[in-house]
Amino acid sequence: MRKRCLFFMIFSCTVFAAANAQTAEPAPVEVARSYFEAMDRKNLAAAEALFASSSSIFETGGNEGDWTHYRDHHIGAELDAIEHFETTLGEPESESSADGTMAFVAWPIEYQISLKDGREINSRATVTFVLVDVGEGFRIRHLHWSSRRQ
């Protein structure tokens, strides 16, 4: 009986570990997903925590500066005008450098925005992240948001 219990426990732990290993996202993809979640919640503080100390942001080919400039002169004002923001994520494409210190994630998305003035915006986009390992995990070094209305 003890052998059966021990076998069952080991078998269960092995199956559980294998299932979790197959469903876990790579760390860069987790950071990118966290960015979308922060934007959906209009949480600039949560988004800021995901950026490296040196960053650059481009939207539809335009240079928006670093995170601080983007937050203060662009996305902050946009989020203030938004009543509701919802992102539908596609399947991300990701790749890491051979040494594991850098990665990119390209993520196709669709998003719906309800503005406080009643207008609705439905768009498709691809958001490309370049992430670097800063020692405490991956942070966004560069973000490019390219979109078009549906």
100-147 tens-digit pLDDT: 999 999 999 999 999 999 999 999 999 999 999 999 999 999 999 999
Give domain status of residue 38, yes or no.
yes
Domain span including residue 76: 26-149
Can you give the pLDDT at residue 3?
58
**Percentage of the chain with pLDDT > 70?**
83
Can you give the pLDDT at residue 2?
56
**What's the domain count of the chain?**
1
- The pLDDT tens digits of the residues spanning 24-83 come to 667 999 999 999 999 999 999 999 999 999 999 999 889 999 999 999 999 999 999 999
Token pair, residue 147, equals 């979109």
Give domain status of residue 11, yes or no.
no
